[in-house]
Amino acid sequence: MGISLPGAIAAKLIHPENRVMAITGDGGFMMNSQELETAVRLKLNIVVMILNDSSYGLIKWKQKDRFNESFCVDFTNPDFVMLAEAMHAKGFRVESTEHLIETLEEAFRCEGPAVIDCPVDYSENEKLSMHLREVMDRYRI
């Protein structure tokens, strides 16, 4: 956790000719969000997409899978668009699935770092767990 933004900065410094995008959970982004300042100062054209579920989604998924409930994994987030703009980066919000590609293209056209707030529904993972359990039961794995 926390590596995606600094990792993207390092990748862009080493390969400036390549397009670089960090994909990070909201919890992971908030661990090192101050590094946006580095990306702005170095004028790095990187895109940071934040998968926003206002929780430590992976841990919540595991807790629910094992204990049928979750504990101490939900939190509130800043407005990521406003946070990006306050740090002199560009901020975007994905409003619908259809809107994702055009938002990405616009973010990659920006000068300097761009942050995309992308809401996600982690409950899809619980459906995946149920499906996997059915498959394992069926084949007695």
Ligand X SMILES: Cc1ncc(C[n+]2csc(CCOP(=O)(O)OP(=O)(O)O)c2C)c(N)n1
Contact residues toward ligand X (CB under 6 A) are 1-2, 25-28, 51, 53, 55-59
Nearest by Cα to 4 from 43, 37, 50: 50
Min dist. Cβ of residue 13 to ligand X (A): 22
Shortest approach of ligand X to residue 80 CB, angstroms? 12
Which of 2, 112 has the CB closer to ligand X? 2
Residue nearest to ligand X (CB): 25
Give 129's contacts (C-beta < 8 A, 6+ positions apart).
61, 65
Q: Measured from the CB atom, is 132 or 135 closer to ligand X?
A: 132
DSSP state of 30: H
Considering the complex, state which of residue 67 and residue 139 has its C-beta at the smaller distance from ligand X: 67
Q: Residue 106's closest CA among 51, 52, 45?
A: 45
For ligand X, which is the closer residue by CB, 56 or 80?
56
| DSSP line for 33-97 | GGGHHHHHHTT--EEEEEEE-SB-HHHHHHHHHHHSS--S-B-----HHHHHHHTTSEEEE--SG
Q: To the nearest whole angstrom, how small is the minimum distance from the Cβ of residue 57 to ligand X?
A: 3
Least separation, in Å, of the C-beta of 139 and ligand X? 28
